[in-house]
A and B are shown apart, each in its own frame.
Chain A
Amino acid sequence: MKPLLICLIVLSCLVAQESSDSIDELPPLESMPVQNDFVNAEYPQDLQDRGVEGTVRLQMLVNESGTVEDVEVIESLHPTLDSLAQIAISQFTFTPAMAGGSPVAVYIEYEYHFSVEDVEVEKIESVVNFTGTVVEKGTRNIVPFATVAILFSDTLYEDLTISREAYLERIGEFEGQELDGDILTTTADSLGKFEFRSLPAGELTLKIPLTGYELYQVIDTLNNEETMNQDVVLEKLSYNDYTITSYYKGEEVEVSRRQLEVDEIRRVAGLGGDAVKVIQALPGVASPSFGGGELIVRGAGNSDSKTYLDGIEIPMLYHVGDMKATYNSDAVQAVDFYPGGFGTSYGDAIGGVVNIRSRPPKEDRFHAVVDVSTLDASFVVEAPIVKDKVSFMATARRSYYGELLTAVVEGLDLDLGMTTTPFYWDVVGRVDVTPNDDHRISVTSFTSYDSLAVLFENTAEGSDELGSATDAITSTTFFNVSGASWENKITDKVDNKLSLFYTMTEGTMGIFGYARMWSKSKYLQFRDNLQWKLNDKMLLNVGTNGYVGNLDMSLDILSEHGITRNEVEDWKYSHVGVYVNLEWRPNDRLLLIPGIRYDYYDMLAHDGSIVPEFWDYGDWNNKGIAGDPSLRLTSRFKLTDAQTIKGSVGNYNQEPAPKGQAIHELWGTPSLPTTKATHLVAGYEADITDLLSIDVQGYFNYQWNIPYQLSPKDSTTDVDNDDIYQDNGKGRTFGMEIMLRHHQSDRFFGWVAYTLARTERYSFEEKKYALFDYDQTHNLQVVGSWKLPRNWVIGGRVRYVTGSPTTPVIGREENFDRHNFTRIDGAKNSSRLDPLFKVDFRIEKKYILKNSILTSYIDIQNLLYPLYKTPDQKTYDDFYIDQKVISMPLIPTFGMRWEF
């Protein structure tokens, strides 16, 4: 048995002087002796058993060297214990007392306690007997570094042989735990794991007070025999913080890039929870027609803007009907939108660029999401395969709103004269491999399919020999993008990312018995970007991207002389772009990014530019091969820490659109040049407060060499050639965009986006610029989302947009053979529809289950439809006399989402 709990008490001290000097001459005592070690006195078991305990009071001399001499008992406890205490104390060593700068010998009194309980306390060993892990309720995310507390009952613990207080005091000394008053605490580690040692058997209360979470408190009973494991599930005060998806926002280097957090934008009303569709609520983007899904960026045509997934072009951004993006938002990390003025990393585009950044699979555990709404149903599963090395993700989605509508129409016995059956599905599979910190490989396969058929009753139009239904307009689009990306940290200063993707698209279209199209394209896309940090001020990017592929196509049109049938087999086409840009920071405030790019189009037959064109330089510059150079400069200058001015200038080019058709030897004009544009952007951005920021941009875009087909009116005027597509179309856009954004706070996020713009195309018929179809002078969007208590979220979006231009009907001409009228148009786009004014609303509620979260939501588009019908299209009666406006109706979407 090992003693003892001993208490040293210095009752008094005297300086021991052997000289005859008087006390007055002694220097003052500067410090008392300090005990350096302690020796336990033997505590005989028989005395312990008899309950002999108490204090022996002794006096001893601590000499100049710190050793003990002359130990005498002043107050006796028991002869044996007195003696044993003397023996032990004689072995003590001290740092001697100091006086006058020198060690001196002093007498001190010492109390040596013999306590039976102290002996028992010393016997308590440190043994882990309570463990647990702190996780978040619903998400099962690990909650690291939480303080875990144990409260003990006042009266229980009858098994203890010593006092409750002494026991707690003892276990409070164990590693990793601390006694504060009557509460024993420990801290969970980075994985949320915690443990307690030597807890007494009996009832105890586990309590976790953590900011942002409901107070966790549970009473448990611990027994002696086994270690208790108690996983703790904390419920967040609010589950609308959206920490499920991480988001990285790097330092802004572009002039016009707009980034929004995925989980933030999924709550924007009217978007059906789709993160990619948020682009439609940003400045510079024209409000699309109902169901159209066009991407009209700063006045550029729909085919002028490119859409990418991690830098690899995807053929279609939105599913049929504009209901959802083709890439599932559950697999999206962020969406980068460049309305113009983008750098040399992107080519073959003269409008804007949308780059969806996909999300890597989660690596902590198995996750699943199931989302079922009135539009579609989808699921996501993801999990690690090899811890920290290999993980996978899979998503799938299928719509059924078309079938639902049809069922309702049939159920209500509505006679619409037509039925429509749109549907879509998409699948994403991804595997990420991270062999070490320097390499990351992701393999992705993304497939999308859309089908739309509008069947008209009692209709048989065109020829049934064409192979398409004579009573329907049909369209299908399928594509698959599969490949791999390899991110390689070559050195501390050099990073490289290589992507290789095989893409296959197949599309069909039938317009009654008049036209039938089928196309299948297979091509390899590549992108490589090498980033080299030259020094602290310069970052060099060198890269290439493009595609190599072939196309099979057939296009049959029932025309005057019968069926015009044309087939294209193995038409080869390719595009290669190479670029260099330098991110140069001459000082802390200025950033300059000069860049140059060259795009080569193997399938074009035109003579490309020699020097970069910022406007049409004329034929002298067209001496090159089938490609064009681009020169772009972006700059940002920090006026203060919170304010930046910025600007960019650059020229751009792209393959003539429609892709393949415009340069087809039969259906187009093979000699068409690239379509070109110049972007000028100037802007100012400021952080008004921590939560409020503003971005103002002005821009001017000019486009030329736009391919267009001659209209019959054009052909009777001043154009004198047989080319189906002309190459001298031109257009211009100028405007201003303001984005006032309130970033995510505890309760609110939102923004006000306003665009003032004018977009024009040159009319050869009228010999002047006329409004473009998508010119929208004012485009104001107000978006807000509020978090409410009890996991409710409401959001709204208000849109006001100037009505789209329309061409007025000024007359009509009857066709006696076809028994219909052809409208006679006035000046192109010389009138407008009434303004667009729409209000969308979204409300959602989360139900937090133990291991999952259930969310129900209602998303209502065009809430004010009963009060104001925004005109989306105009239709006319058979005589073009009476007109009617078609409006997007109120569209409610109900859904449930389960996240595991």
Chain B
Amino acid sequence: MKKRIIFILLIAVAQLFVGCQQWERNYLNINDEFARALSMHFIEPNVAPGDTVTIRSVWSGKRITPSDLKWEVSWKVFSNLYGDETILDVESLEPYIVTAVHEVSSNDVTQVFEMEIVIPDSIIYNYPGIPETWTDMLAPYGLAINAADFGVSSNKDTLLMMLDSLVKLSDEDKAKIPLEMGYQLNGLCQFAGATFRIYCDYTAAGGFRGGINHTVGYQSKLEAIPGMYVNNRPVQTGWRIHEVKGDPVTFYPGDEGATSRVLEIISDSVEFEFKSDHSYFLECDISERDSTITSNSAFTDQTPSLEQFYGTWFYDDDAYESIGMTQQEDLTDQYAGRSRVIYKLSLKADPVKNKALHFWFESQDYKEATGMVPMARDLGELNITLL
């Protein structure tokens, strides 16, 4: 009787999860069904009003041409306290294009396009996300700030004019500003910015319409001020694979005793034999881990902290069926100053062997509670052949 009840229960549980099977399509799986945008990022992420900036887009899947792409922009993107986003006045990007989109490099599976656009000078002045009394923005974040303490008006335009005036100072003069005030100015810049959204419609190439948000601020123009942090792009500089005995969940590069061998990945390719009694960790070096300061701490304890890295993997069909990637926890504490992200590779059932499995990895930096600090990205390619 007991066995029968357990059996019925198991049947019921199995029924429960009938709907949990995989979808045929997955965002991370790249194939010829659609053209796909793997990454769209700004080469120089610190965008200021009036800047001319380069947008790089990386494509795969169906091949596309620049003429397949239709570009639009909204310079007025803002959110309410619940995170609901409002996007106003979507218009053609054409008037802002300085250099038309063009292909800069490509291989069999990847195309890289770039274009240059100019950011309107008045974008922040016209930005509806900043109320006329800009100090109203601070209250929800627990920052009860008296504008007069900073020698500025609580009026939005007056604040922006003050920042414009600071921009016009020479770098020498900017450097004379005390660090404490520099932090506070950094904090102000995290509020006195604007979010815009670039749209790219690539349906003509068998794809979709998509968009990406980016921020405009004064940070890059005030970089000479002490305590004024800018965000640099996390460029990927190298790869290696660590083969580790057993099945640890995490691995740190300092655990040399556990490492059987280190496979340096040359020219984005590597071949190796997956041993069932070993684990494999993929390490990606990233150029620089920036310090930054959060909106709150800019006005309170003024403690800078390091940004974090995370990333997104894309797979071709064979790679998707063969290897899974799991990012392990951030390494900030253990290896401060060493910029890298580490993923554990997991072999799926019946992987494809003796064939190059193609992966793309978009790395991204992030620091929460930093307001109008831009996010920055890079994308690399990797081929793994399992022997």
Contacts and interface: CB of A to CB of B under 8 A. Distances in A.
Given A562-B296, A816-B37, A821-B208, A409 B13 contact: yes
Contacts of B10: 408, 412
How many chain A residues sit at the interface, stated as a range, is 35 or more
B210 A889 contact: no
B191 interface: yes
Interface in B182-235: 190-191, 195, 200, 208-213
Nearest to B37: A816
Contacts of A882: 23-25
Contacts of B82: 557, 559, 667, 709, 724
Interface in A395-418: 404-405, 408-409, 412, 414, 416
B323 interface: no
B141 A817 contact: no
Contacts of A153: none
Nearest to A715: B86
Contact of B80 (A513, A716, A724): A724
A565 interface: yes
Q: Which of A463, A559, A891, A894 has the most CB of B within 10 A?
A: A559
B20 interface: yes
B23 A889 contact: no
B185 to A, nearest CB: 16
Given A561-B371, A562-B368, A709-B84, A814 B210 contact: yes
A889 B88 CA distance: 44
B83 interface: yes
Contacts of A709: 82, 84
B195 A560 contact: yes
B208 A814 contact: yes
Interface string B145-174: 000000000000000000000000000000
Contacts of B191: 561
Nearest to A408: B13
A878 B368 contact: no
Nearest to A813: B209
B262 interface: no
A887 interface: yes
A599 to B, nearest CB: 29
B79 interface: yes
Given A819-B312, A894-B5, A562 B86 contact: no
A70 interface: no
Contact of B18 (A412, A566, A889): A889
Contacts, number: 156
A561 B136 CA distance: 13
B135 interface: no
Nearest to A561: B371
Contacts of B142: 565-566
A405 B8 CA distance: 13
A813 B81 contact: no
How many chain B residues sit at the interface, stated as a range, is 35 or more
A887 B19 contact: yes
Contacts of A813: 208-211
Contacts of A712: 84-87
Contacts of A890: 12, 15
Contacts of A564: 81, 140-141
Interface in B7-40: 8-10, 12-20, 23-27, 34, 37, 39-40
A364 B86 CA distance: 67
A558 B15 contact: no
Contact of B83 (A416, A557, A811, A878): A557
A412 B13 contact: yes
Interface string B38-61: 011000000000000000000000
B137 interface: yes
Contact of A465 (B12, B20, B139, B369): B369
Contacts of B213: 817
Contacts of A820: 27
B326 interface: yes
Nearest to B215: A560
B58 to A, nearest CB: 10
Nearest to B23: A877
Interface in A820-849: 820-821
Contacts of B139: 666
Given A878-B27, A879-B25, A892 B12 contact: yes
A815 B15 CA distance: 35
A865 B213 CA distance: 45
Nearest to A888: B16
Nearest to A411: B10
A689 interface: no
A374 interface: yes
A14 interface: no
B368 A465 contact: yes
B199 to A, nearest CB: 8
A572 to B, nearest CB: 21
Nearest to A811: B209
A845 to B, nearest CB: 14
Interface of A: 374, 404-405, 408-409, 412, 414, 416, 458, 460, 462-463, 465, 513-514, 557-566, 666-667, 709-712, 715-716, 724, 811-817, 819-821, 865-866, 877-879, 881-882, 884, 886-887, 889-892, 894
24 contacts: A405-B13, A405-B16, A460-B310, A462-B368, A463-B369, A558-B369, A560-B78, A560-B129, A560-B195, A561-B190, A562-B141, A562-B295, A562-B371, A566-B142, A709-B84, A712-B85, A724-B80, A813-B210, A820-B27, A877-B26, A879-B34, A879-B208, A889-B18, A890-B15
